[in-house]
Structure 1
């Protein structure tokens, strides 16, 4: 029996891309940190590693621009603009420059979210947009983190190769994104939350292992990484304590992903934590922001 036929029999989602995960976009930024009226920019271009992470999992990218501080597109950004993947929408606010940049970034996300609810998310972290205050409230959100469970191409991999891979392996990429997006909404509606949690962890484990298996076949260098997805809903609201002792911060093993990664000392896990929740934007139950952290090389 062929490998594809075997997987089709034992994996219900193999070869099937969920309809509602057809299109997604991410608001991106150079590595800038804003606190009050202080703005610190590590670079005027998108971070190469951050860009490759974004390009792998999202179909379109938006990088807001401003007339007050103009970060010009570099070769990578120009290439993606010409390909119709990256858009440089202008958002200029009068007053304090740092807060004007922050408002522009947030407004771009709000406009996109209002037009296409549940489609757009923010990239946030040390290598992208890091706003110290004003966007979210601590404790009003949930974070689902996949530890050592996803492959990300290294910073010097040509963008054209990532685009080619993204088209060729779209099913595996979209399936992981779908499983993360549907986690909260399906847990909220489940009558037996303990069983639903078990099924969702197994589904995410399967999605990660499939993607890692593909990642090990890539001809370019790959990192084994963590992926963080933030929801604007507290864990207790969609997943109250269940029989068996579930608690915030507990790690669940991803045995299939661990087996596929096969890196010394690398155990793949899933963790649910309390996190920041959006302050003013009414959000669907899909993640509103994503971040990643490189762990080690996959091979």
Structure 2
């Protein structure tokens, strides 16, 4: 039996994940709310839950530092810095501290994404960065939200165990990431409703695989939502020739629901118009991620 045939019969991911998978990185922040020139900091370190979410799905983390308002690394951050996973480049801007922190986050995303187009994203949400105004355009982008379909390690899981999980379950993680990122090009190139259904089925299978391995592993995980924002206008998402599809639709994820033990279709994906950062380029890869926890698996 040839090597390719042997692998295809023993590895369910063989041929389904591109041979060349690029690094993916995310710009992270402590729980900060920025409203104009006002800054409210709930913590001075990265939130433990945010850090574990970011570590599970991304290869590199960047936490911009600033000489005007400095947040020192804690034990978790120092551990990841020593492992070469987290870096803290300086992004100091003149003017008020709140605007400087916001500019630092966005400029770090722009700089790193220019070096590796489509490979970097921003983390936002209650446990990360919330920018109230001044940097976004309403209804200029599109969001994909996976409801009750993603396992996330609990806030107190040791970081070393998450790294071990990533090593052992690399294929499932890459398979999920590949199909999440491929969903928008699949929709944009769809000619039939069956093409959309096929793309949804693939992300459904990827979510189900993640939920299954999350249930099997030793440390506790939450069942969560994952929202990915893209800079593509919803009007350009699906060809106008494709009748019967409209942004705002929800699609049931039956395999993910079954894996999570949810009644009926408890997991779903929602596609809708959303914000876009003014400085974001028109990339098909998500530029911003937000998660929301539901319950423990």
Q: 1:242 to 1:165 in 2, by over 3 A?
A: farther
Coordinate RMSD, CA, aligned: 2.2
CA distance in 1: counterparts of 2:161 and 2:25, whole angstroms: 20
CA distance in 2: counterparts of 1:129 and 1:10, whole angstroms: 43
| Equivalent residues in 2 for 1:130-279, closer than 5 Å | 130-190=130-190, 192-240=191-239, 245-263=244-262, 267-279=266-278
CA distance in 1: counterparts of 2:161 and 2:61, whole angstroms: 17
Counterpart contact for 1:64–1:91, Cα < 8 Å = yes
2:56 alignment counterpart: 56
Aligned residue pairs, count: 292
SS in 2 for 1:216: helix
Structure 2 unpaired stretches of 5+: none
Counterpart contact for 1:80–1:86, Cα < 8 Å = yes
CA distance in 2: counterparts of 1:224 and 1:158, whole angstroms: 18
1:22 alignment counterpart: 22
Counterpart contact for 1:18–1:175, Cα < 8 Å = no
Counterpart contact for 1:193–1:239, Cα < 8 Å = no
| Cα deviation, residue 251, structure 1 | 1.4
CA distance in 2: counterparts of 1:123 and 1:272, whole angstroms: 19
Counterpart contact for 1:15–1:171, Cα < 8 Å = no
Cα shift readout 1:50-74 (whole Å, capped 9, x = no counterpart): 1000000000000000001110000
Is 1:92 aligned to residue 96 of structure 2? no
CA distance in 1: counterparts of 2:14 and 2:146, whole angstroms: 21
CA distance in 2: counterparts of 1:184 and 1:12, whole angstroms: 24
Name the stretch that deviates more: 85-94 or 228-237. Answer: 228-237
CA distance in 1: counterparts of 2:196 and 2:37, whole angstroms: 43
1:79 alignment counterpart: 79
CA distance in 2: counterparts of 1:166 and 1:15, whole angstroms: 20
SS in 2 for 1:174: helix
Counterpart contact for 1:194–1:242, Cα < 8 Å = no
2:66 alignment counterpart: 66
Counterpart contact for 2:254–2:265, Cα < 8 Å = no
Counterpart contact for 1:21–1:177, Cα < 8 Å = no
2:125 alignment counterpart: 125
Name the stretch that deviates more: 112-121 or 180-189. Answer: 180-189
CA distance in 1: counterparts of 2:19 and 2:136, whole angstroms: 30
Q: 1:266 to 1:49 in 2, by over 3 A?
A: farther
CA distance in 1: counterparts of 2:150 and 2:67, whole angstroms: 37
2:110 alignment counterpart: 110
SS in 1 for 2:216: coil
Q: TM-score, normalised by structure 1?
A: 0.92
Name the stretch that deviates more: 92-101 or 281-290. Answer: 281-290
| Cα deviation, residue 177, structure 1 | 1.0
| Cα deviation, residue 136, structure 1 | 2.0
